[in-house]
A and B are shown apart, each in its own frame.
Chain A
């Protein structure tokens, strides 16, 4: 079957994990990787049969006109600089940085056909992919007026890009808790924990709700969990929604994400949840493109 050619910018933790995941896709074929220096990630790309260059987005646009989907896994600043060129070249871009130029895309909540016609969409953050669906599910039945998330990542799973962008990470996640989750106000917190062996990605989601209907909340959250597990099998509840304190309106839910262990070991569920969301979106786009060509 014909596949859609893709490129990855930024062969770091996220980029290399994407390479491995993409190699299993029936719709996507990695054609080119753009880095800033020769690195392990560049070698991995070549070993997988892709072109790899340190000559930037211009190289990608001029040498690979047949590429249709680009994953940007650099940093917010780098994506801001690259975005106009990528759009000009006509790529469909999946932005995995917190730059958030395009609209937020969380497949379990809002991936629809109109989104696939845009020049770029933003994959929020790993924390956003893990938490906004739960807030959206609770908001659907209980009217969330405040959402707060604490995402704990193993230190080894947070690369230099994430570390240089902590503020963009928390701000983008917070904005998505409101835009995708439907909360009126929100706060996002990220914690890096260097414990050995590394901790699994863990997300605590507090929602303050106007309708404290715990059975309805649990059912909605469970259903959303099922939907997410279709593309992130290791997404599970460490704590089902409970009232934080009796006679209060704070609902507390904890989810843990176990990855597939592709590039980093299984503790790095944060890589998996944003990357599988990106692949899910890219495949939807690829199916659409293939349909158009057929």
Chain B
């Protein structure tokens, strides 16, 4: 199976959750952590895309170019992406953003309106940008219509075309139907962007991958509009468990979420659901009630509770064996 290309949109879709107030310093901190974690593409900017800063969508604290520049300065491997919604931003806006360090642009239209993206996709390709076609609100059109619009974006020059479940309204069958039809009929890769509004973000992402999608979106802690996006750290854990190759490192992705994003969100008065504990349990297959005991034991013996959980998984402890936790923690502390 092809390696999945992960795009993290914490700093773009997630920017809705902080009313587009991310700062340059925060962009640099997050970008460095994501780059070190092995995230392939980092999307940055106002939640509504380039020049989305407005009365209608809310004014950003820093311009898209300022945030992109701050992030581009610190990344070594990851590519920086921006979102462009024709009708809000213009192809001309791409020049400044490319100078600032972005090399990927996601050109987004409503799922039935791909033809308004022709000039932007063509111009971005001419500028040497990697172009992702983003068909938003994909639940609003049947699979054959989604394909028709995806083909338009492909014909304009898109390098990838996404099924974008902006409303988090698709069920796994709907994802499979759309993605597999595109996979069969497009020559460019297919991507999938999810929102967790029905609790299906991870499941739908897996359904998309099984149907041939190779570009998947996430955001740290699932930060994003509505119930948020697919949590990147959970996604990495699930891909690892499923044996689907991905560049990102699980623990470094978790750290980016809990150690870097967490404190930033606190400063903005926002927060994300704590995902680290549950995802560790699911990832290791450890009995769920072991978590709190492991945390207490970790404090008692000064060790990392994550290592206790990993060890419990390795030893294949079964429900009821809470006594093992102290033994493991005590041993690790030596």
- B56 touching A204, Cβ below 8 Å: yes
Chain B, 4-53, CB within 8 A of any chain A CB: 51
- A166 touching B116, Cβ below 8 Å: yes
Interface size bucket, A side?
Answer: 20 to 34
Stretch at the interface among B87-95, B159-167, B240-248, B307-315: B87-95
Across chains A and B, the number of contacting residue pairs, with CB separation under 8 Å, is 56
List residues of chain A with CB within 8 A of the CB of B55. 146, 148, 206, 208, 244, 250, 252
Task: Say if the beta carbon of B210 comes within 8 Å of chain A.
Answer: no
A64 → chain B closest CB, angstroms: 33
- B112 touching A194, Cβ below 8 Å: yes
- B113 touching A206, Cβ below 8 Å: no
- A189 touching B87, Cβ below 8 Å: yes
- B90 touching A187, Cβ below 8 Å: no
B314 → chain A closest CB, angstroms: 54
Task: Say if the beta carbon of B185 comes within 8 Å of chain A.
Answer: no
- B56 touching A171, Cβ below 8 Å: no
- B56 touching A192, Cβ below 8 Å: no
B64 → chain A closest CB, angstroms: 14
List residues of chain B with CB within 8 A of the CB of A250. 55
Question: Please, how many angstroms separate the alpha-carbon atoms of A166 and B113 in the complex?
Answer: 12
Query: Contacts A166-B87, A189-B56, A191-B87 known; A155 to B112 CB distance under 8 Å?
Result: yes
B152 → chain A closest CB, angstroms: 11
Task: Say if the beta carbon of A56 comes within 8 Å of chain B.
Answer: no
A245 → chain B closest CB, angstroms: 10
Task: Say if the beta carbon of A164 comes within 8 Å of chain B.
Answer: yes
Task: Say if the beta carbon of A190 comes within 8 Å of chain B.
Answer: yes
- B119 touching A192, Cβ below 8 Å: no
Residue in A163, A171, A208 with the greatest tally of chain B CB atoms within 10 Å: A163
Task: Say if the beta carbon of A55 comes within 8 Å of chain B.
Answer: no
Contact with A along B248-271 (1 / 0, CB 8 A): 000000000000000000000000
List residues of chain A with CB within 8 A of the CB of B54. 148, 187, 189, 206
B101 → chain A closest CB, angstroms: 23
B310 → chain A closest CB, angstroms: 49
Task: Say if the beta carbon of B115 comes within 8 Å of chain A.
Answer: yes
Chain B, 113-167, CB within 8 A of any chain A CB: 113, 115-116, 118-120, 140
Query: Contacts A163-B115, A194-B113 known; A170 to B90 CB distance under 8 Å?
Result: yes
For A205, give the chain B residue with the smallest CB separation. B55
Question: Please, how many angstroms separate the alpha-carbon atoms of A170 and B85 in the complex?
Answer: 12
Task: Say if the beta carbon of A223 comes within 8 Å of chain B.
Answer: no
Additional A-B contact list (16), CB under 8 Å, known A187-B51, A189-B88 = A148-B55, A160-B115, A163-B115, A166-B87, A166-B119, A167-B86, A167-B91, A167-B92, A167-B120, A170-B87, A189-B56, A190-B87, A192-B110, A192-B113, A193-B110, A250-B55
Interface residues of A (CB under 8 A from B): 146, 148, 150, 155, 160, 163-167, 170-171, 187, 189-194, 204, 206, 208, 244, 250, 252
Interface residues of B (CB under 8 A from A): 51, 54-56, 86-88, 90-92, 110, 112-113, 115-116, 118-120, 140
